[in-house]
A and B are shown apart, each in its own frame.
Chain A
Amino acid sequence: MSEISLFKVTIDGEEVEVAPGTTILQAARQLGKHVPPAMCYYTKLQGSGGKCRTCIVKVTAGSTKDPRPMPKLVASCRTPVMDGMVVANETSPEVIEARKGVTEFLLINHPLDCPICDQAGECHLQDLGYEHGAQKTRYDFERRTFDKIDIGPYVQLHMTRCILCYRCVYTADQITDKRVHGVLDRGDHSEISTYIEKAITNDFSGNVIDVCPVGALTDKTFRFKSRVWFTKPVYAHRNCPKCTGKVTLWYKGDDVLRVTGRKDKWGELEDFICNTCRFETKKTADWVIEGVVNVDRHSVISQNKYTLKAEKPVVPELASKHTGEGTWDHQLK
């Protein structure tokens, strides 16, 4: 191992040493800052990336041996680093401008139905549009629309919202035994579909909901139950014979409204979880609760969640009720 020399990369003026073969995006993630946004790339899905172009960066010097800049902006998720490469991400006005253009293209057919969409609040396209998008659309033509499709009893597909990142297709391809859905047609007509709306019955099919960066694939058991920011995420695990059983429970009061996989700080799943964990075990009694998820202070999910401890109840009957087992306050202690 010691023979492999690390590559030195400069991203926005900061140096980081990474193993050869690492992509620019991964190098930036190792650095921990100046990370380009990624809508289609997913670390755990082989072959993903290179489709949405939001992660484009400017390479001002190719390597130490050949320091010429790359002629065009490159997709950082698919470009491996070279020794001595100099990358400009946020510092390059060209990149910011190009990313704004990419965001505009992604939003051409995306409906403005965030007030209805269950993904609002944890939607990557919302974040991208907020940071890189324009205030107004310049698109006058009719947006393409599709009917909603029920994929099996748990997943609903809103093709209208899809940005064609192909993540769900790779998920179905790689973590399930048999591929059941894919992309039909080409170009502007392409759409995610199952053949003749065939239901996905695989045990891990629910993960397509978590990998979807927008609200195209949503949980039917959570449909319109609550907005994301009114629920409280809690880490929990259970003994599951099929998967690791490590999940995030989304509480509203004492009810578990939704179960999702755990996401790392780049918004990617740590483990793929099975459908039993995701859709069928929605009682506190099914889970061992580990603790509250640390949500970013600037995220809408952390809104209206006060961390101050509640004062002791004055009325004794209420006090006994509060310390009762089964309530999740008790379990967190």
Chain B
Amino acid sequence: MQSLSNRSKQVSQKEMTFMESIYLPAIIGGLMITIRHFFAKKITIRYPEIKKLFSKNWRGVHVLKKDEQGRERCTACGLCALSCPAEAITMEAAERKKGEENLYREEKYAARYEINMLRCIFCGLCEEACPKEAIFLTNEELAPSRMDRGELIFGKDKLVEKQHDPDNKKRGGGPLEERLFHSKENSSYKSTFEGISNS
């Protein structure tokens, strides 16, 4: 039957020539390719010691922003949870009491706010749905990996940024090292990281 794509090739069964039968030119040719790659620019990096820069619109780990006066922007309106296709976001609202005006911007705030990082697919719909510009997906951190499932349910302690940073809308949660290496077991990594980031 005729080939529909016209790209099929007939297998040739012809005898090898003398040069082909001694294999040496082919071996040397292959070695040259290997040796050339020793000196070529490496396309791999030594992750996690070295990290690549993310593009500006990279969607990484979430952050809950504060406003210029250091008050939490989130009012627990639930639109992020509603838009979330993976149903990763849960929250509980509470009413702001007198004297808490410097902590929360609106009269309602999220008393509990959790994102299940195991469920999250980093689609960024929560960021788009947010009417208060409170939740953003940072462009500095990858989705985390942990040994324990419980650690991957991020509460407000991990999500709310430590200090308001007006320059970078996407950055949150204080110094990056602090967020990545918060536990003591990882302190050896921390020194490696500092060495790299300083250089």
| Chain A residues engaging chain B, CB cutoff 8 angstroms | 113-116, 120, 223-227, 229-230, 300, 303-304
Contacts and interface: CB of A to CB of B under 8 A. Distances in A.
Contacts of B107: 116
B84 to A, nearest CB: 9
A308 B93 CA distance: 29
Given A224-B93, A304-B87, 12 more contacts: A115-B75, A115-B79, A115-B106, A116-B75, A116-B107, A120-B77, A223-B95, A224-B95, A227-B82, A229-B82, A230-B78, A304-B82
A227 B75 contact: no
Given A116-B106, A304-B87, A227 B95 contact: no
Interface of B: 75-79, 81-82, 87, 93-95, 106-108, 131-132
B87 A115 contact: no
Nearest to B78: A227
B153 to A, nearest CB: 18
A225 B94 CA distance: 8
Given A116-B107, A224-B95, A300 B75 contact: no
A117 to B, nearest CB: 9
Contacts of A227: 77-78, 82
B81 A115 contact: no
Contacts of B75: 115-116
B111 to A, nearest CB: 9
13 contacts: A113-B106, A114-B131, A115-B131, A116-B75, A116-B106, A223-B95, A224-B93, A224-B94, A226-B78, A227-B82, A300-B82, A303-B82, A304-B82
A229 B107 CA distance: 20
A221 B107 CA distance: 17
Contacts of A120: 77
Contact of A115 (B94, B95, B132): B132
Contacts of A230: 78, 81-82
